[in-house]
């Protein structure tokens, strides 16, 4: 009886492998992350795995095997790539800083595309105005400016909202830097969403200050002085504006060393009203002037956050869908059991023994290390399983 080599898939339609719906549960020998699925579409594989002569790419020499590993060229548009052993460095998060590999080996620097540069410039503007606003708000809270205490008393709500907006924008800008430098689209997705919240909180103090100044500011000041400020609030405003009482020392005044019945200091209404007009106008002008910049940053984040590299991740097939040597051994066991029903158990046992010998796997279905298997594993990743059929 002559023997000749032929692929397992070439024995006819009756000999095609029919894997059960859940072979993983039947084997019980493989880790949970090993896939036994073989229902791949040819378009899911790189061109080098489908044809003996892969198509030539621009700027790339002909090669019999698909490209393996990372590097700068792995991020080109349309670049096909196969993973190396233990290569799980997706988006640079699990590696060293800025997406580099851990250890002494350093890769060439990756070139930034125009989308990443756009995000970089937009986040610079966000960081500048967020830090500037946060610094001014903190200096106001710490009473560094001459009239900062008046703002803390008379415009406390607006100051709180502005501080929250500046602090949130600062945090979002830091998140944006993390996403840009690490090429992490998850960070940038959250970054793009939080930009809308920053926009809402940014326009809120601007709207409040505009509404307060435009519609009956004098009446609001009258009500605030008599009902809201209290004795302590009126005293702080009197000390900073060097005035006494609202109209005069005899009308809603808080007695102090400079404010008493015979004080020559003027009333606080005119000075306080002028101060509020100037402060509120500056406040909403700054807030509304940042709206076009914030909208531009939001649009940039939406359009560019998914294009910081020319492809998602590294172009590798997900680990759950990779066909490893261990999973191939189980698939061949299932196929041998079908051959046993067709050709007999003796022929199936011989085929199985020869296949395991060629694949360097033991009877439990795990890879047995050897010099031949090491050479085959480093040769590029294309395996042809050709057991002998008697």
The position carrying tokens 């007009």 is 277
Share above pLDDT 70 across residues of the chain, in percent, rounded to a whole number: 58
Q: Does the pLDDT value for residue 93 go beyond 80?
A: no
Q: Find the Cα–Cα–Cα–Cα dihedral 87, 88, 94, 95, rounded to 10°.
A: 20
Are both 284 and 308 inside the same structural domain? yes
Are both 204 and 278 inside the same structural domain? yes
Domain that holds residue 352: 323-357
pLDDT at 193: 96
Identify whether 374 is part of a domain.
Answer: no
Q: How far apart are CA 100 and CA 102, in angstroms?
A: 6
Nearest to 185 by CA among 310, 314, 308, 311: 308
Q: Is 211 helix (H, G, I), strand (E, B) or coil?
A: helix
Write down the mean pLDDT value for the chain.
74
Choosing from 281, 313, 345, the residue where a domain stops is 313
Q: Percent helix, strand and coil across the chain, each rounded to 5? A: 55, 0, 40
Identify whether 47 is part of a domain.
Answer: no
* CB half-sphere exposure, 135, CA atoms < 13 A: 6
Confidence of residue 327 (pLDDT cuts 50, 70, 90): confident
Are both 119 and 250 inside the same structural domain? yes
Spatial contact of 139 and 145, defined as CB atoms under 8 Å apart: yes
Q: Does the pLDDT value for residue 382 go beyond 50?
A: no
Q: Is 107 helix (H, G, I), strand (E, B) or coil?
A: coil
Are both 261 and 331 inside the same structural domain? no
Q: Which of 38-42, 184-188, 320-324, 341-345 has the highest mean pLDDT?
A: 184-188
Q: Is 159 helix (H, G, I), strand (E, B) or coil?
A: helix
Are both 209 and 248 inside the same structural domain? yes
Are both 160 and 234 inside the same structural domain? yes
Q: How far apart are CA 307 and CA 311, in angstroms?
A: 7
Identify whether 52 is part of a domain.
Answer: no
pLDDT tens profile 6-34: 444 434 444 444 444 444 444 455 555 55
Total structural domains in the chain?
Answer: 2
The position carrying tokens 């051959």 is 339
Are both 164 and 278 inside the same structural domain? yes
Identify whether 62 is part of a domain.
Answer: no
Are both 141 and 276 inside the same structural domain? yes
Spatial contact of 182 and 98, defined as CB atoms under 8 Å apart: yes
Within 10 A of 294 (CB to CB), how many other CB atoms are there?
19
Spatial contact of 259 and 265, defined as CB atoms under 8 Å apart: yes
Are both 129 and 266 inside the same structural domain? yes
Identify whether 122 is part of a domain.
Answer: yes
pLDDT at 239: 92
Confidence of residue 373 (pLDDT cuts 50, 70, 90): very low
Identify whether 235 is part of a domain.
Answer: yes
Are both 154 and 268 inside the same structural domain? yes
pLDDT at 63: 47
| Range 138-164 average pLDDT | 94
Residue 76 phi, psi dihedral angles, 5° rounding = -70, 160
Are both 271 and 344 inside the same structural domain? no
Spatial contact of 331 and 38, defined as CB atoms under 8 Å apart: yes
Choosing from 313, 348, 371, the residue where a domain stops is 313
Identify whether 97 is part of a domain.
Answer: no
Are both 183 and 331 inside the same structural domain? no
Within 10 A of 224 (CB to CB), how many other CB atoms are there?
17
Q: Does the pLDDT value for residue 119 go beyond 60?
A: yes
**Taking the CA atoms of the chain, what radius of gyration do you get in angstroms?**
36
First-to-last C-alpha distance (Å) of the chain: 7
Choosing from 260, 287, 313, the residue where a domain stops is 313
Q: Is 307 helix (H, G, I), strand (E, B) or coil?
A: coil
Q: How far apart are CA 195 and CA 165, in angstroms?
A: 11
Identify whether 308 is part of a domain.
Answer: yes
Spatial contact of 352 and 331, defined as CB atoms under 8 Å apart: no
pLDDT tens profile 218-250: 999 999 999 999 899 999 999 999 999 999 899
């Amino acid at each position: 009886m002559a023997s000749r080599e032929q692929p397992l898939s070439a024995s006819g339609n009756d000999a095609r492998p029919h894997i059960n719906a859940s072979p993983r549960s039947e084997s019980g020998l493989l880790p949970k992350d090993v896939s036994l699925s073989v229902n791949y579409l040819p378009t899911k594989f790189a061109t080098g795995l489908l044809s003996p002569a892969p198509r030539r790419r621009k700027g790339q020499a002909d090669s019999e095997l698909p490209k393996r590993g990372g590097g700068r060229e792995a991020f080109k548009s349309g670049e096909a790539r196969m993973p190396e052993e233990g290569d799980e460095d997706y988006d640079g998060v699990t590696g060293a800083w800025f997406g580099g590999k851990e250890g002494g080996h350093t890769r060439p620097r990756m070139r930034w595309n125009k989308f990443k540069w756009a995000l970089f410039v937009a986040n610079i503007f966000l960081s500048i105005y967020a830090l500037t606003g946060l610094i001014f708000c903190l200096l106001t809270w710490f009473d560094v400016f001459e009239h900062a205490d008046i703002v803390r008393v008379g415009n406390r709500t607006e100051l709180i909202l502005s501080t929250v907006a500046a602090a949130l924008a600062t945090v979002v800008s830091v998140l944006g830097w993390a996403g840009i430098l690490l090429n992490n689209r998850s960070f940038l997705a959250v970054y793009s969403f939080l930009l809308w919240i920053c926009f809402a909180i940014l326009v809120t103090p601007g709207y409040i200050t505009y509404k307060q100044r435009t519609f009956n500011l004098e009446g609001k000041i009258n009500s605030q002085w008599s009902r809201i400020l209290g004795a302590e609030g009126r005293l702080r405003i009197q000390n900073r504006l060097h005035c006494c009482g609202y109209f005069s020392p005899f009308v809603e005044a808080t007695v102090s060393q400079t404010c008493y019945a015979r004080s020559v200091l003027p009333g606080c209404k005119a000075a306080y009203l002028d101060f509020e007009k100037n402060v509120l106008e500056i406040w909403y002008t700054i807030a509304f002037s940042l709206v076009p910049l914030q909208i531009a940053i939001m649009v940039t984040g939406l359009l560019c956050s998914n294009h910081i590299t020319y492809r998602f991740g590294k172009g590798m097939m997900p680990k759950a869908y990779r066909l490893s040597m261990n999973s191939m051994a189980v698939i061949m066991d299932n196929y041998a059991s079908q051959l046993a029903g067709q050709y007999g158990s003796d022929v199936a046992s011989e085929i199985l023994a020869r296949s395991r010998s060629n694949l360097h796997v033991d009877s439990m279905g795990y890879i047995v290390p050897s010099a031949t298997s090491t050479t085959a594993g480093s040769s590029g990743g294309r395996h042809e399983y050709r057991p002998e059929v008697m």
